[in-house]
Amino acid sequence: MKLSELKPGQSGIIIKVRGRGAFRRRIIEMGFVKGKKAEMLTKAPLKDPTVYKIMDYEVSLRKSEAELIEIVTGEEIQPSNEPEKRLLVLNEEKLLSLANEKSKVINVALVGNPNSGKTSLFNIASGTHERVGNYSGVTVDAKEGKFKYKGYTFNLIDLPGTYSLSAYSPEELYVRKQIFEGTPDIIINVVSASNLERNLYLTTQLIDMDVISVIALNMYDEMEKSGAKLNYQSLAEMIGYPIVPTVAKSGKGIPELFDQVIEVYERRSPVARHVHINYGEEIETGIQHVKKLLKDETQLGIETSRRYLSILLLEGDKLGEQMVSGLQGAKQILKERDIHAQYIRDDFREDVETAFTDARYGFIDGALQQTFKAGRTDSQKITHRIDKFVTNKILGFPLFFLFMFVMFEGTFFLGEYPMQWIEQLVAAFGSFIDGLMSEGPLKSLLIDGIIGGVGSVIVFLPNIVILYLFISFMEDTGYMARAAFIMDKFMQKMGLHGKSFIPLVMGFGCNVPAIMGARIIESRNTRLITILVNSLMSCSARLPVYLLLVGAFFPRYGGLALFGLYITGIILAIIMSRIFKKFLVKGEDLPFVMELPPYRMPTLKAMNRHGWDKTSQYLRKMGGVILAASIIVWFLEYFPQDAGKENSYIGKIGHFIEPVVKPLGFDWKIGTSLVSGMAAKEIIVSTLGVIYTGDGDNDMLLKEQLHAEQTPDGNPVFTPLVAISFLLFVLIYFPCIATIVAIKNELGSWKWALFVVVYTTALAWLVSFTVYQVGTMLGL
């Protein structure tokens, strides 16, 4: 019986704990393990939760939780109508041995495609003779068999064959119902090795369901005959289901299969774990949003995976909808679902189900690409043909670097024209205000503070939009996944994983979503390092600084200089990763699948939305933090009034930190901009804008003013060497506040955020110091 059926004062011995993931772990940590005695103490006034006593602790469980724990009680030995006698006979030893016996019953369900060999396997294991063969009757029923092996009793159930577990055909509905309501302890997923791709589709759905499974890699004889090779151990580790090759026709591999079932049942298998199939950014965002609403629904049993239910809802699954229809927040949940389903439809120009199907095949393709070598019959799918080219050992890298180079050149040169228009607009606006107002603090605030500060940053908007479009394009076409794939070996050398590559490239856009994007990495260690080095990926907020200085001092090598800066960031990230891997984290990483979604032309609608999202985000930043910083910097520079720049507040701050930055070639003005740039890196430019537009000719462009700026003894402040030292410092030092908060949120502690602040700033200082000092010695 179930723990939830106990009456007050009654006790029983635990024989099984069902359920999944976090719930299971928690319940087991509480002491609800096989062979332990649990006693019911009291029920809360509203009947739920109930307090149980286990190993001398008192623990309260909800009914839905207690239902997942199976027990055996004294009454099952001795009928309860003779209570006195029962008390006498009820000795623990007898109960324990009964519990032990009962816990050695394993309920196994066979699930797989038609003709994968389920019935053959069922027959050979249970010794029965069900009809085997190539028929596809609509006999929606299940055959049950029983047998003993190694002291365990197996209740085997042979389910109808299905290609998928969507709720379309009666077979599919039936199998799904069996999996959920028949509560098998373990599912044997029979997979035909002669058609892996097709067969593994069902497996991806089992993974989503978060059920416990062992894969029988059946028809292994045919695979060997065809010359195909599968590294099934490595595949098993990636997907978290043990795989045993079998030949159900002859019985080969069947004992090993059930050995694995026992291992998994007893929680001894090192391979068994729950993995998440990564559906790509757009779909995952939808899943997260729906899941968030489901999380709050206490009515929903603990045994339902919120992620799975979210997937069902997005796919438009009728049963999924039924499951939520009675919930309190049903309306809101379905509304959220509709919004995100529409996003997915817009992005993929396909219905949502197809988008999911494609992503599942992407998961399978990725897993097989790493583990499978086809025999004589190779697939001719277009995706595969392109992949041959793009993920080619020799061609892959140059292709990738070419793409990267085009991206940076494009960002620099395509942005040039709209940038000039905005520059002219800003200048015209400044002159307009200049003519309109009489001299005074307010005018200075408007022209030197706001227009000088915000205006100097806003001109880079086109470049940033272009960079984002390139990154979105890489993601949306599916190329990013391939890039991750070819980079895998290299990333592993860095101590990372191919999957780390995506958050790193995303970091070129903005470190904040990139750090959140690191969630696709299942391994905690790899994820940690990916996050720690992410801010070395030069985000677009640093771009205005680069463009300003590169434009001023290296205009002829613009694209190349940009490329060089980004590469420097990457190289530093490599070095730091290796160091972190060596000194910071312990333990080996689990392998996992890198999804290879099919190639797709991104829709204009999606590109437009992504582009607009970023643009509006950028504009909000202009109106918010950058505007505020510009005003503050202006204030610090303007007051105390008439003191002159050197003696203004900002001058004092600048002079205070000058000793620290002087060895890097910076004067106090540059030092000040670096301090204010901690809030957001664009503020470096707006600060320079405010400081420099304060003196002299207002029509002079900021980059011209940088050239004109002189030290007291008449030398230019900015030499090309100072510019390089400055660029490197900006690249490396202090990630912005938003990034620091993101690191704290993702890693769950301020400790890591602080660590990043300290190491990046120290590293920046060291690099700039070395470059400047060596450069000076060489007479540059």
On the CB side of 163, CA atoms within 13 Å amount to: 7
Q: Which of 114, 329, 559, 611 binds ligand GDP (CB under 6 A)?
A: 114
Local structure of 27: helix, strand or coil: helix
Q: Which of 120, 199, 278, 538 binds ligand GDP (CB under 6 A)?
A: 120
Local structure of 748: helix, strand or coil: coil
Measured in residues, the chain has a length of 780
C-beta of 249: minimal distance to ligand GDP in Å? 4
CB under 5 A: which stretch of 116-124, 325-333, 423-431, 490-498 binds Mg ion?
Answer: 116-124
State the residue for tokens 């795989």: 243
CB under 5 A: which stretch of 118-126, 162-170, 417-425, 512-520 binds Mg ion?
Answer: 118-126
Tell me the residue type at 467. L
Does residue 203 interact with Mg ion by CB under 5 A? no
C-beta of 160: minimal distance to ligand GDP in Å? 9
Local structure of 442: helix, strand or coil: helix
Considering CB distances under 5 to 8 angstroms, the limit depending on partner class, which of Mg ion, ligand GDP, none binds residue 114? Answer: ligand GDP
Q: Please work out, in degrees rounded to the nearest 5, the angle formed at the alpha carbon of residue 744 by the alpha carbons of 740 and 745.
A: 115
Q: Which of 11, 113, 119, 577 binds Mg ion (CB under 5 A)?
A: 119
Query: How many other C-beta atoms lie within 10 A of the C-beta of residue 169?
Result: 15
Considering CB distances under 5 to 8 angstroms, the limit depending on partner class, which of Mg ion, ligand GDP, none binds residue 115? Answer: ligand GDP
Considering CB distances under 5 to 8 angstroms, the limit depending on partner class, which of ligand GDP, Mg ion, none binds residue 648? Answer: none
Does residue 278 interact with Mg ion by CB under 5 A? no
Query: How many other C-beta atoms lie within 10 A of the C-beta of residue 300?
Result: 17
Task: Say if residues 312 and 266 touch (Cβ distance below 8 Å).
Answer: no
Does residue 198 interact with ligand GDP by CB under 6 A? no
C-beta of 188: minimal distance to ligand GDP in Å? 11
Sheet holding 213-218, edge to edge: 143-149, 152-158, 105-112, 186-192, 213-218, 243-245
Task: Say if residues 760 and 734 touch (Cβ distance below 8 Å).
Answer: yes
Q: Which of 74, 161, 452, 665 binds ligand GDP (CB under 6 A)?
A: 161
Cβ proximity to ligand GDP: between 194 and 391 the closer is 194
Q: Which of 118, 360, 482, 681 binds ligand GDP (CB under 6 A)?
A: 118
Task: Say if residues 51 and 139 touch (Cβ distance below 8 Å).
Answer: no
DSSP string, 397-460: HHHHHHHHHHHHHHHHHHTHHHHHHHHHHHHHHHHHHHHHS-SSHHHHIIIIIIIHHHHHHHTT
CA dist., res. 187 & res. 260, Å (int)? 12
Report the chain's C-alpha Rg in angstroms.
32
CA dist., res. 484 & res. 504, Å (int)? 10
C-beta of 184: minimal distance to Mg ion in Å? 17
Cβ proximity to ligand GDP: between 219 and 572 the closer is 219
CB under 5 A: which stretch of 113-121, 139-147, 286-294, 627-635 binds Mg ion?
Answer: 113-121
C-beta of 114: minimal distance to Mg ion in Å? 7
Cβ proximity to ligand GDP: between 120 and 648 the closer is 120
Considering CB distances under 5 to 8 angstroms, the limit depending on partner class, which of Mg ion, ligand GDP, none binds residue 305? Answer: none
Cβ proximity to ligand GDP: between 221 and 336 the closer is 221
CA dist., res. 442 & res. 42, Å (int)? 72
Name 144's bridge partners.
Answer: 157
- Which pairing describes strands 143-149 and 152-158: parallel, antiparallel, or unpaired? antiparallel
Does residue 64 interact with ligand GDP by CB under 6 A? no
Considering CB distances under 5 to 8 angstroms, the limit depending on partner class, which of ligand GDP, Mg ion, none binds residue 706? Answer: none
User: Among residues 360, 386, 383, 367, which one has the least CA distance to residue 209?
Assistant: 360
Q: Which of 7, 45, 57, 133 binds ligand GDP (CB under 6 A)?
A: 133
Considering CB distances under 5 to 8 angstroms, the limit depending on partner class, which of Mg ion, ligand GDP, none binds residue 133? Answer: ligand GDP
Which ranges in 118-166 belong to alpha helices (H)?
118-126
What does the per-residue mask of binding to Mg ion show for 663-702, with x meaning CB under 5 A? ----------------------------------------
**Site size for ligand GDP (CB under 6 A):** 18
What does the per-residue mask of binding to ligand GDP show for 216-255, with x meaning CB under 6 A? --xx-xx------------------------xxx------
Does residue 142 interact with ligand GDP by CB under 6 A? no
CA dist., res. 434 & res. 586, Å (int)? 62
Q: Which of 11, 73, 103, 119 binds ligand GDP (CB under 6 A)?
A: 119
What does the per-residue mask of binding to ligand GDP show for 479-498, with x meaning CB under 6 A? --------------------
Phi and psi for 10 in degrees, rounded to 5? -85, 150
Task: Say if residues 107 and 146 touch (Cβ distance below 8 Å).
Answer: no
CA dist., res. 499 & res. 671, Å (int)? 37
User: Among residues 508, 345, 452, 435, which one has the least CA distance to residue 689?
Assistant: 452
Cβ proximity to Mg ion: between 119 and 310 the closer is 119
**Site size for Mg ion (CB under 5 A):** 1
Residue least distant from Mg ion (Cβ):
119
Does residue 143 interact with ligand GDP by CB under 6 A? no
DSSP 333: H
Does residue 189 interact with ligand GDP by CB under 6 A? no
C-beta of 119: minimal distance to Mg ion in Å? 3
Tokens of 761: 């700033």
Does residue 203 interact with ligand GDP by CB under 6 A? no
User: Among residues 344, 722, 715, 278, which one has the least CA distance to residue 522?
Assistant: 278
CA dist., res. 460 & res. 117, Å (int)? 62
CA dist., res. 78 & res. 89, Å (int)? 8
C-beta of 116: minimal distance to ligand GDP in Å? 4
Asked if the bond preceding 49 is cis, omega within 30° of 0, the reply is yes
CB under 6 A: which stretch of 110-118, 234-242, 504-512, 765-773 binds ligand GDP?
Answer: 110-118
Residue ranges binding Mg ion (CB under 5 A):
119
Residue ranges binding ligand GDP (CB under 6 A):
112, 114-120, 132-133, 161, 218-219, 221-222, 247-249
